[in-house]
Each structure stands twice: as C-alpha cells, then as structure tokens.
Chains A and B, each alone.
Chain A
Amino acid sequence: MTEKLVIIGNGMAPGRMLEHLFEQAPGRFAVTIFNAEPRVNYDRIMLSPVLSGEKTYEDIIIHGDAWYETHGVTLHRGDRIVSIDRTNRSVTSQNGVTAAYDRLVIATGSNPFIIPVPGKDLPGVVAYRDLDDVGAMLAAAEMGGDAIVIGGGLLGLEAAAGLKARGMNVTVLHVMPSLMERQLDPAAGYLLQKALEDRGIKVICKANTRAILGDGKVEAVELDDGRRLPASIVVMAVGIRPNVQLAREAGLAVNRGIVVDDGMLTSDGHIMALGECAEVGGQVYGLVAPLYEMARIAASHLSGDKTPAFVHADTPTKLKVTGIDLYSLGDFSEGPDREEIVLRDASAGIYKRLVLKDNHIIGTVLYGETSDGAWFNDLKKKQVDISGMRDTLIFGQAYQGGAPLDPMAAVAALPDDAEICGCNGVCKGKITSTITGKGLTSLDEVRAHTKASASCGSCTGLVEQLMALTLGDKYNPAAVTPMCTCTDLGHDDVRRLIKAKGLKSIPAVMQELEWKTSCGCAKCRPALNYYLVCDWPDEYADDYQSRFINERVHANIQKDGTYSVVPRMWGGVTNAKELRAIADVVDKFQIPMVKVTGGQRIDLLGVEKEDLPAVWADLGQAGFISGQAYAKGLRTVKTCVGSDWCRFGTQDSTGLGIRIEKFMWGSWTPAKLKLAVSGCPRNCAEATCKDIGVVCVESGFEIHFAGAAGLDIKGTDVLGLVKTEDEALEVIVGLTQMYREQARYLERIYKWAKRIGHDEIRRQVLQDTERRKAYYDRFVFSQKFAQVDPWSERVSGKDKHEFKPMASVGYGEAAE
C-alpha cells in the first residue's frame, strides 16, 4: 500500500530528498507538497546571478512542472500550511486544504531577519530570500537611483553587486568593522572591501542603522551618527532565523531550530524535519551542503534503511560575485594554541592564510587566488600532519614535491576522494568514474548525473578540468558559448560587464575582462566595437580597424575585389534628377552593372576601390548619401504607394516609411535592420517578413516585428496597434533601441526576440510607456553622433589612405 508523505515547504532540501527517495523507493509514497511560494523548486543559491542579469529564472529551475507530473507529486503552490494536527495526522492550509499523512516532513527553511527599526515596514524595504525579492529589486533598479543594502555578509554583498550591475548607486551598511567577519579575517575583509569599492560600491562599516525614513515609501536611511543616506530601495540582509513557528505551535521540541536526531526525526515519530529549519547536534545550517546531506539521510530513513547518520562537517564559503575570488573554511580565530601561515601579494591582490593547530590545518582563508581551496580542505578533512611541507604549504599543491605543476596537473594530482563540489559533497573519483561509466561529454550531463557544479557553480572550473582530463580532446566546454577563442565569456556577459564596469575602449575591455590574445580576432573585435558604439555613443571613438571591410570603406566588397555602391533612395522613391545623376556616374566611371535591388533602390556594381571617393562625390552633388547597404545598421525602409495613389490605401505608407528612414538612418545595430511599411493588409511592401514592419489599417498602424526572409523564413508577430504616426515612430524607435542595447552582435531581431520572449518586448516597449520613452530618448541621443554621411566625410578626405596604394613600384622597368 502506498503511504502518504506530506511535505511542508518546497525548497532545495526536500527537493533533493525526493530525488533520492524516488531512486531508492520508487512508488512507495504518494507525495503531496505545500509551498508558500507560488512556484516549483528552484535553485535559491542562484538568485544572485538572476539579479545581476547573468541568468534568468528559467535557468535556475531545478524541477520543472513535468518532473512533478512524472513522479505523481501533488504540488500546492502558493498555499501555506497553517496548522499541524498531530493527533489525527493531518495538516491544514491557508486555502483550507486538509491533507492526511502517514509521514510528515517539515522543510520550512528560514525567515530573513528584519532589524526592528522605525520604518522597516515601508514599501521599498525588502529582504533577500526568494524570487519575489529579486523581482522587487529589479523593479527598483529599473527606476535607477540609490540602493542601500544593510548587511555586509554573503547575501548582502551579492545583492549589492547585483544592484550595481543593474546600474544603481549602491551603498552597503555593515555594523561590524569589516565585511563578512564570520567567514573572513580583517585582512581579507579589507581586500574585499577594496575590490567592491573599485567597482563603485560604497561600503560603510561600523554603521548602525537608526531608522528608515520616508513618506509612504522608502526615501532615506538614517544612521546613529546622524548621517542620512538617500535610498529608493533598502535591502535587509542581516541574517536568517530558522522558520520554526509551525513546529512550535504543534508542540514539537524546538530550540534554535526544530530539534531532530541524526536520522532527521523530530520529537514526534511520524514527523521529520530537514533543511535550514532543522537543528541537529545543536547546530543549524545555512548552506546547502549540509542540507543536502540531511536530504540524503532523510530519504534513506524514509525508504527503510536507518543506518546513515548525520555528521557535522565544515562547509567552505564562496562569494558568487563575478570577478571576486574568495574562499573560507573552518575556524580562523586567533588563540594561544594556534599558529598561522600568511602569504600576501599586494600588487596581485592575493591574500592567503592557513590556521594550524598541532600541525593540522583547521582554517583557511583565500582571497584573490582560490584554486588550492579543495586541496587545503582535503588536508583539513583528513587531518594530515603538515610538518613535512610546512615551508611550501601556503604556495599550494603545485609546489609540493619539486617543480610547480600547471593547474591541470594539480587537478590530476588530487586524490580520488578529494571533494570537488562542496555544495553536493561530490568527490573527484565519483566524477571521473561517472564520466567514463556513462559516457558523459558535456558539463550539463555531468551536472545531471553527479550533481557536481549543479548548485552554486563555483567549482565549475574544477569540474571542467576534470572533464578535460578524463575526456581529452573529446571535451568541448560549450556551457556558455564564448564570443570567440580570445575569451571564455559569452556575448551577454561581455555586454553586461562593459556597462557594469564602465569600459570605454577595446583595450580596456580586453584588459579588464582578461582577453587571452593581445588584440582579439576578427570575431570579437567587430562585436566589441559595436557594443562600445552602442553603449557610449558620445564618448567612444569608433575603431575602424575593428570593422569589417565593407563598414570600413562604406561599400560592399565583391568577389573580384571591386565594390558596389548603393545610394539611399528614401522609401524607394526617386525622380528624374536623381536617375540622371546615377546615369552620369555610370557613364563617367564605366560602371559595368546597374541593378535594382530587392530593397527598392539601385546598386552600382563593379566600382574600383580607387574610384569610390570620386563616385561618391558625384552622387553627393545630386543629394545622395550612403545607403549603408553594407552596414550592421539601418538598411532600407521599403514602402508601397499607399493612400496617395492606391485605391485600397488606408494611410500614407510612403510618407511614413520615408519619415522612419530619415529618422533612423546611420544607426548601428547588432545585425542589419530592415523595415517596411504597407498601406493596407494586402501588404505590397512585404512588411510581414521584416525585422520591423508596419501594416496600415483604417484605425491606425499595426506594428509588426521579428520576421525573417533570408536564411530563415518567418512571418512577423504583431507587437500592437497604435493610432498615430507619431506613436508608431516612437514604438519602432523604442523597439530598435531595446534591441540595440540587448542583442548579441550579428543576432537579427527575430532571434533575439525568440531568446528573450515576445511578451517581454511587448511589455517593455508597448505597455510600459515610460520605459519606451527612455529607450526613444537614448536612440535620439545616439543619432546625434551617428547621422554623419560617411561618403561625404570621405570625399572630404577622411581615411584617404584606404583608397590609394601606398606605393607603385617596378613600372619604370616594366615599361622598357
């Protein structure tokens, strides 16, 4: 008979327990979960990357809907349990659902601690615990302004870094004299503070908050010394308290947490507890490694094997802030019976400290260079007597026994039982044997099968080295596709970091983001050049040597090394004077081919490079500017004849197309950008397969986007209907700017939109009018610098060298 297992709370601990349980005792329990949060089980640890923009919520889901279905689990989302009836063995929820249990598991996690100061309940004061908190912070970040984070521990600093990455002015208030004092000694705390300050995050230590001020919402924070700091959001991250209220009311033994034995059983034989709410051996825990151990033990006891018992182990702490490496483990307080070994390298920003007792490591603090963490942890766990290697110990494993090892060899030298993934307690042997045994080739597979690197991710580097070691050339580390071989970072990371770190030149990007080549390659340089042009339109000096030849000489190179010249023909409309000028140019320069393009204009093909400036000069005389047929930028705006002539036309589609083209020409975009405006749904301008299209209707303008008709064919989606031409222009420009700021280089609108979601785009540029206006204004600002006709610039002498040979030699002799 299946037993009824009810779980209160759907966090990381019970999620892991169920995985073990379904493996060990499939079908034994009918499982019902109540979760106060209205969602499935997700990786709470990874909220910081979601906050900073490095990940999305979808990326951090541990069990999707399908998982619950497969395992027949009933999940009540957004329904909190309000009472436990131990006599009748049932629980009752806020929504009035009662569920009977044979076995009950309490996994209610923790509550964030809120310091009891006046103003703590004002809107705009948030904790940092779940996805809703992240949502509140992101909403605040969108408005910009000042953020105050109270608490300089792990959570507070991750929140601060995330808010900074989102563009806020961030100040951290910490009551102690140095940051993360529970994990770091003052020296490392100081280095950390400096690193944060270098990123523009203000840190005030010994800061006692007296009150939070504001009228109807947060406006400032007042300190004990009277200082007032402006704030549009206050994040309280000062600690957590096990969430024990329900258990206490049910009369279970409760101390700091719900008291359980080493088999996770509470004082009631039918009820277990695990996770942050449980207290075992007098300790409560706030990192997942011990919670996962609890999960393993609970699952085992539930499935009938009562032998495993929980044993305390220290868990290393790592800070998940990109670019800051920090590792701390065990006990590092000073004492008469302790000795220490310290290594400082100020210029490299490295600090390492080992705390020893009776020739054994009992504590480790590593800052700036943490790759030996696993090794020190191993020595500590195994209680290795280090007297023999005392002199070189601090330099790490690489220096033991002769020549220094490269990082790969150091990993190779780790013993099989060395712990690689702290969160999940996975050792090296388990990873390598699973890779070979199951024929795994990708990081995701290794995560799925071993759980290594599946939680906080800070051991990912080590796991990848192990994969490389085990698989050799077969391993292709494609977790995030790097921009190119010059870096491990993907496009999104690079874009984010350019903004977050205020990087304003290609050398600055390469220096700060640790490019592996001296000056990049033909893949990354054009991308970086675009990102910088887009992000700093007024400050960045375009690097022409980082542009593809077409954009450098403002014409399209042909297979024979000649060029084609496509002048702008606004909206596809021309006249006799323009056509005559084109005809004259064709005659004068003996241009071999004249062709009408698919973009409603005229292409002059086969022009010699040296003739380009002269051809442009003549075209310029007739009023032509470059059609940018070569640009990752605005190409054409195709139009149909519209209401001026066509019997079906509903609006002046030609006029609107010309207006849009005149407004947007010259702008650089991630990939080429093509628009069209049709005067009625017959759609003669083919607006419904363009990057952005407009279909005019009686009631206004239907804006379309994300179409394709090149390598892929895809009809557009409707963004929305607007009433006036002005609105149409604002929406189109807003959408373009959003795309400019977010897409990856060479990513057309339809691909970008698919990646981030059509609804999200609608929300940002259609519904949120304020945000649309902000996008619009930024586009207009950047156009001030972009709308310079490149042809006339070159006719007046710019980049002369491009069009002339440096020298001609040998003609004298040859003429003999």
Chain B
Amino acid sequence: MTPKLDKQEMRNYLLGSLEAERRAALEESILCDPGIYEELVVVEEELIDEYITNNLSPSERQQFETHFLITAERQKKLRFGRLLRRYLDSQPVFVSPDDIPAPVVRQDKIDAPATKFFSFATGSFARGATLTVSSAVVVILVILTLVCWRANRKPDTVQENSPNPIPYTLTPASLRSEDAGTQRVKAPPKGVNVRLNLEVTNTNFRNYRAGLFREKNFVQTADELKAEPNGEQRVVPWTIAGEVLSPGDYQIKLSGVAESGPDAFVDNYSFRVTKK
C-alpha cells in the first residue's frame, strides 16, 4: 500500500532528515509507484533551484551540501542548474506592472505595459519565445518608459560631492565556485556612493553596459562603462548612489557593446545588500 507522502517529506528525504520509518515507506514507493518517483525527481530539481537562488533555510542549505551533494550525479545536476539559471537571467525580464518600482514608470505619462523588456536585451537575449509581435510593442513602450524615467531619475544619480565611494569587487556567476556563499555589500551611509568592481574575463569590448535588478525588478542601467586593471584582474567599475542600494538581493547583468550588431551578454553578478 502506498503511504501518503507530501512534498515536505520528500524534501526531508532528499536532505537526509526524514525519520527511518517514513524513509522506508517512501523508498518502497519509489520502486513500486511511478507517480512517487516522478514527484521525487521534480522535488529534487526544485531543491537544486532553491539552493542556487539562496532560498533554502540555513539548516537545509547545510544538509544540501553535506548530504544531498554527495554523488557526482547530483553535482552534475547542480552544475546544470547554475548554467540554466545563468541563461535565464540573461533573458528579458517578464514582470507584472505591479512589480515595476515607482521611479521607473511614470504612470501619468504612459500606460503601464503588460510586460517589461530590458532595453538592451537584443540579439541573443531576445531569442526564443519573446519574438512575437506583442513583444515589439512592449519594447517600444519600455523605451518610452525608460526615456521618461531617465529624465526624472534624480534619486538614483551618483552624488558628485560624496566622499570616496566604498569599493566592492564582485565575482561573476560563471566563475563562482559551487560552495561560495552569497556576495555581500553593506548598505552605505546616506550620501556615500558604492563602487562595484565587476570582474570580467572577456575584455574584448570597448564599452560595457550594465543593468541593476532588485529581486528581478529593474532598478537602473549604466552605459559606456570601461574595463580597467585591478591588481591581476580586469574589472568593470560601476559607481552607484548609495541611496539606491537598500537591503535586499540584487543582480547585475553585464553586456559588452559590440562595434556593430547587438550587445553581447557577458555575465551576471549576484549580491546581497545588508544593513549598515
């Protein structure tokens, strides 16, 4: 007889924390019930995604690293999960109008589009499902939105007379080891800027373009950033007004501006802004 097993029990099983009796019942079901097996492998992938996006609790995270990742097969799955996340993060961001932060869209000037499309998301970014007639309309609306926003974005501008910006070096997703923790940036005091040094391995571009997102919501963009040496590394520095960085999870998408043709996606940089 198949015992009733919920998703939480499957998570506990995969993390090695399910009590022995329930574990035996689940394992028997894995062999005899195709539905249970399929559910288990789906939960396994979801766990991997939650680990990658830092959505596991500290204890689950520890169990994931010490128990779940013990086999080479699961390590391969984690590696693939990271790769897929990197690809998805390079794609246009679909958000509902409710998710668009107030400074970005001026509702009195333009009707909110159903979908927001990051302005430099062209070329390889725009492949696939977004190539529809409706997305073209959305692009036009968003360009208009950004034009309106850029003209009114005083709160996000860098403080010219602020003290020296506080530097932080961010490692891109493609170079981060699997056991590396979250990169952290302290929320700066009022009026102080932050200089984010984005490590790059591809320095073939004359200019770079960066977009800052807070939990998938677009915050701001910068053009004409340039790579420069920073010790033995090459970095693309981006100075951001401290006021922009309230505590939360952020992501920067960096692209290289090609001599001709569309921009080329370079990498993602994830970090968490913590309280002062």
Q: Does B bind A?
A: no
Q: Give me the interface of B with A, judged by CB distance under 8 Å.
A: none
What residues of chain A have their CB less than 8 Å away from a CB belonging to chain B? none
